[in-house]
């Protein structure tokens, strides 16, 4: 039985897009909670190594696999490798993102396809592969965005569209996988302080001003929500869209 301070002891998790930002924080938190943790990364092997080192320091197994989230074959192989190395799969977190900025008259077919490949197609086939090998009672957690429901600025077309699709998939999968007691949920962050989102520049200050708390969130706050959904006390939550946005969408 897992100890209270290690609620995920004996569990195995894979964080797709786990080398930076929210994905890295989630991977480290799951490791601290006792899980064996694998991550995928796109290009920064050094950052990925730092994440796996932190997870190993927490006492579990860890590995990093290079795989483009927009390449379904590569991601599928990474999922199977993670499950084989860690001795199974209990938790899948899908965290990569393609923002694909631009207004309606600026979007190219290439931009459209990349956003869909990473944010929608990549998620779908990662979840399909993971569900096929996941232990009953597992968890699938998608990292979405409040911009799926709230579009405060122009130029968020592809991001809003693809993240909205994520919500629909999560609700459908919650029904599909309920008979196996696999819970599927979506966390929708608001503005979060990451290397891609600087709270000190003009755009960052504008986003913070739209929140009730007047600040950016911390990656650790997203990780804490993921920890809850992945842990034993989150077992009655499924098909739910959970905003973590500082009150941006009030």
Q: Is 97 helix (H, G, I), strand (E, B) or coil?
A: coil
Q: Is 3 helix (H, G, I), strand (E, B) or coil?
A: coil
Report the catalytic residues: 159
- Virtual CA dihedral for 32, 132, 16, 66, nearest 10 degrees? 110
What sign has the CA pseudo-torsion 102, 103, 105, 111? positive
- Which residue reads 């990662």 in tokens? 126
Task: Work out the number of other CB atoms within 10 angstroms of the CB of residue 30.
Answer: 30
**What residues form DSSP beta bridges with 37?**
13, 62
H or E stretch covering 244: strand 241-244
**What residues form DSSP beta bridges with 184?**
140
């Amino acid at each position: 039985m897992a100890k209270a301070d290690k609620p995920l002891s004996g569990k195995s998790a894979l964080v797709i897009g786990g080398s930076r930002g929210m994905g890295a924080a989630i991977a480290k938190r799951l490791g601290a909670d006792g899980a064996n943790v694998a991550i995928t990364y796109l290009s920064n092997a050094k950052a990925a190594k730092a994440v796996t080192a932190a997870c190993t320091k927490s006492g579990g197994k860890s590995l990093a696999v290079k795989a483009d989230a927009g390449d379904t074959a590569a991601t599928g192989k990474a999922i199977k490798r993670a499950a084989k190395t860690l001795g199974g799969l209990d938790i899948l977190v899908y965290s990569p993102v393609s923002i694909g900025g631009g207004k309606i008259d600026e979007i190219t077919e290439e931009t459209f396809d990349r956003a869909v490949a990473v944010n929608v197609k990549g998620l779908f086939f990662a979840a399909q592969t993971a569900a096929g090998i996941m232990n009953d009672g597992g968890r699938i957690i998608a990292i979405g965005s409040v911009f799926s429901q709230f579009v405060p600025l122009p130029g968020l077309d592809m991001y809003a569209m693809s993240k909205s699709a994520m919500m629909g998939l999560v609700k459908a999968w919650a029904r599909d996988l309920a008979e196996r007691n696999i819970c599927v949920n979506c966390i929708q962050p608001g503005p979060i302080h990451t290397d891609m989102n600087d709270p000190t520049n003009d755009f960052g200050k504008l986003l913070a001003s739209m929140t009730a708390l007047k600040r950016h969130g911390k990656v650790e706050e997203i990780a804490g929500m993921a920890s809850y959904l992945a842990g034993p006390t989150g077992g009655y939550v499924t098909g739910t869209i959970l905003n973590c946005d500082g009150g941006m969408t009030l």
